Structure 1
């Protein structure tokens, strides 16, 4: 049985939110997405200390985006169409190292993405 969700938001993921287990735990379903990229950022890594997030993702080392001055900087990922309720669930999943911002993607779409909070 397929669940119908009212789509109102685009969420760009480059990390653990692309994992099936994380999606099912966070959103109650597996998401369908399409490839895209965020321009002007580089991937770095952060050590997660929240036991629930570590258990859900299977790792304490998660990617995190920081703005880049490097020419051609871009990070490949996946765009998901989600509801406002699911976006709030994503906010709950992400630890304090992350901050959600709206950004333009390579495709021209605008999506929410979690970047380095400091």
Structure 2
């Protein structure tokens, strides 16, 4: 399964803690969303990422393209990513600038 990452899932520490391995990826871009910053309160996520603020996407058709990395995950790894992202984010299907289709995590209140 393809997952477009624009934030902490690109980080090697987060990948190792969440998936038990570093992931290979390719660059791509996403349109139709803008990046915002949110405060994280989940102690497990804080311990994994080391960051109290994370990026989140909200729908905005006029926003500039967002650069990120397309990661290839197994179904089990997608489930692990869902647990890591928690209730703050929702996974949605998107079309990327390359024409590939992938999942991406967006702010749950905007999905």
TM-score range, shorter chain: over 0.9
Q: TM-score, length-normalised on structure 2?
A: 0.95
- Kindly report the root-mean-square deviation, in angstroms, between the aligned alpha carbons of the 2 structures: 0.9
Superposed displacement of residue 73, structure 1: 2.6
**Is the radius of gyration larger for structure 1 or structure 2?**
1
Q: Deviations over 1:77-111 (max 9, x none)?
A: 00011101100000000021100001000000000
Aligned equivalent of 1:83, options 74, 96, 99: 74
> Separation in 2 of the partners of 1:82 and 1:110?
14
Q: TM-score, length-normalised on structure 1?
A: 0.89
> Separation in 2 of the partners of 1:111 and 1:69?
18
Q: Structure 2: which 5+ residue stretches go unaligned? A: none
Partner of 2:20: 28
Matches within 5 A, 1:100-111: 100-111=91-102
Q: How many residues align?
A: 109
Runs of 4+ in 1 over 2 A off after TM superposition: none
Q: Structure 1: which 5+ residue stretches go unaligned? A: 1-8
